[in-house]
A and B are shown apart, each in its own frame.
Chain A
Amino acid sequence: MQPQPKNPNTDSSPQAARLGRYFGIYAALWKNSVTRETMFKGNFLLWIIVEMLWFGLQLAFIGVLYLHTDAIGTWTKWQVLLLVGASHFIQQVFQAFFLINCANLSELIRTGKMDFLLLLPVNTRFVVSLRQVDLGGFVNAASAVAVMIYAARQIPLSPSVATIASFLVICLVGILIHYSLMFMLATISFWTVRAQGIVYGYYNLFQIARMPDEAFQGLFKAVFTFALPMLLVTNVPVRLLTDRLQSGWALALLLGMAVVCAVASECLWRVSLRRYTSASS
């Protein structure tokens, strides 16, 4: 380790310098990921095909449902397809940034590689969460956008730039919720090392996020709105986009849940980290 050269910005705004440093680190992580992907080009393409197939399968399912009905609650066919597209978009962006990293946490703990990350002079949660970027996720997110545009034209829908911008911001809130929940599940590996199964169990929750909220009622709806807000993550942004948001209430709820999930995951992370006792040696 070399002594850190004194940053000329430190005196004027240490905050900005810190942010700049983290950006620098993240850029390096991106570079690593790109290098890694270019090593296995064939595999990279095959994974994109896999994701496209599963996406197509979901769309086909909705197509088959609407052969036998005109509406699910008040949701029409193209609105639901827009919903499936938006859900895929959110899921894929989430996957690009966070999924592998969350899934790998139990491996880091099992092998004791976590020691190395704890010693790095950066926020540990930052490196654990963002170490690897799954570039295929962006390609898949683009295919989701294509489906959304097609569905929007069929409705037909011509949202203003402001609407699209707020839609994207709410999507980011949704991604934050997915990340917080998944990260909480991943931290369970501090207690039981076999947590990888639990993390992949989260995949089942994505399936709910792409269903129209009006199909649900009772306890199920309550749980997936107020505890694991899957029914808000995609439904709220799509309702905003299709101008079917009855009131600001759902929007406030989504934001509130995002804050709750984020705070809860940070608390759990701090508590869990104290339990870490390395492996072997």
Chain B
Amino acid sequence: MKFAGSQAKASWLGCRKTSVVQKYFHALNIGFQNNLTYRFNFLTRTLFGFIPLTAIIMLWRTIYEGKPADAATVGSYTLRQMISYYLIVTIVDALTAVNEDDWQIAGDIKDGNISQFLLKPVDYLWFRFCLFLAGRVTYLMVAFVPLALFIFWLRDYFVLPADFLTLGLFLCSVLLTALLQFFLSYTMAMLAFWVLEVSTFIFILYAFEYIASGHLFPLDILPPAIERALFFTPFPYQLYFPVSVYMGKITGAELARGLLIQAGWVLFAYGLARFAWHRGIKKYSAVGG
């Protein structure tokens, strides 16, 4: 990290007059280089992740087997749809989950590394966003083959989207999810301006995200009142919403409304991230920088 940082510093000093596109393209490049050192980590994470995924799929299969064959549904899900749900969750997660970005941002604040960004015509938020994007692309490059093989293994249980329009809307929603994930993590990391240890706070939020975003089970198998209450929070839009779009559970006007609300949450999270940064900078006292 240190080395990459100094490298970045040198190259920025050298091209002060470069365009915005070039500038952030450079940031992406740094991101790729940094993240490639994590490739082994990414691979083990992907492979280890298949263990609980397989376990939960087997658990559901056992539950469905205990039901009469003609009425084997849980909520509105058949076994095939239930297994697909978890597979698509894994795909959306690979595309959008933050990987250590929040720890790194908090670390930059704590160690005083953000000082250099205060002096340069580089926006730290977009710089970090480039690193996040690069991280996701690297992760996908590593995870693609194992994930594809895993899905191929379960191909009989994997539903495809109804049509290209659904697929397109799903991808739009995934993009919004990625933005939402990033801005919320960025905001959480801003806590480092005020507290020494941010990891506990990040884990507490993560616990809520894990259950309320539909990571553990599809939200519509919950009692309707709880499900409705959850939709007042941003959590379902961090995972459950794009997955439901893919599976055709949400269509028509409801889908359009959902996308708008999701975009609204993205804007809100962006505003929150900016606000937290501005308040934080006022408190900031460049440790060791």
Contacts and interface: CB of A to CB of B under 8 A. Distances in A.
A197 B52 contact: no
A220 B200 contact: no
Contact of B221 (A68, A70, A192, A204): A68
B59 A207 contact: no
Interface in A65-122: 65, 67-73
Contacts of B74: 68-69
B207 A57 contact: yes
A211 interface: yes
Given A43-B200, A68-B74, A69-B63, A216 B55 contact: yes
B200 A47 contact: yes
Nearest to B207: A53
Nearest to B208: A53
Contacts of A205: 51
Given A69-B63, A194-B41, A214-B62, A54 B200 contact: no
B63 A72 contact: yes
A37 to B, nearest CB: 13
A65 B55 CA distance: 14
B222 interface: yes
A50 B217 contact: no
Interface string B44-64: 110011011011001101110
* Chain B residues touching A, majority SS: helix
B118 interface: no
Contacts of B41: 194, 197
Contact of A67 (B44, B210, B221): B221
A220 B222 contact: no
Interface string A190-228: 001010011001001101100110111100100000000
| Size category, B interface | 20 to 34
A49 interface: yes
A220 B54 contact: yes
Given A57-B207, A57-B211, A69 B66 contact: yes
A43 B197 contact: yes
A265 B166 CA distance: 51
A212 to B, nearest CB: 8
A70 B65 CA distance: 12
B198 to A, nearest CB: 10
B55 A211 contact: yes
Contacts of A54: 207
B203 interface: yes
Contacts of B45: 197, 201
A201 B44 contact: yes
A204 B49 contact: yes
B204 interface: yes
Contacts of B14: none
B117 to A, nearest CB: 28
A204 B55 CA distance: 10
A162 interface: no
Nearest to A51: B203
By CB atoms of chain B within 10 A, which of A40, A67, A197 has the most? A197
Given A68-B74, A215-B62, A208 B51 contact: yes
B216 A204 contact: no
Contacts of B40: 192, 194, 197
B62 A197 contact: no
A195 to B, nearest CB: 9
B200 A73 contact: no
B221 to A, nearest CB: 6
A60 interface: yes
B289 interface: no
Nearest to A64: B217
A217 B58 contact: yes
B79 to A, nearest CB: 12
Contact of A72 (B62, B200, B203, B217): B62
Interface of A: 40, 43, 46-47, 49-50, 53-54, 57, 60-61, 64-65, 67-73, 192, 194, 197-198, 201, 204-205, 207-208, 211-212, 214-217, 220
Interface of B: 40-41, 44-45, 48-49, 51-52, 54-55, 58-59, 61-63, 66-67, 74-75, 197, 200-201, 203-204, 207-208, 210-211, 216-217, 221-223
29 contacts: A40-B197, A43-B197, A43-B200, A49-B200, A61-B211, A61-B217, A64-B217, A64-B221, A65-B217, A67-B223, A68-B75, A69-B63, A69-B66, A69-B67, A69-B74, A72-B59, A72-B62, A73-B66, A192-B40, A201-B45, A207-B52, A207-B55, A208-B51, A211-B55, A214-B62, A215-B62, A216-B58, A217-B58, A220-B55
Given A40-B197, A220-B58, 15 more contacts: A43-B200, A46-B197, A46-B200, A50-B204, A53-B204, A65-B59, A68-B75, A69-B67, A73-B62, A194-B40, A197-B44, A204-B48, A207-B52, A208-B51, A220-B55
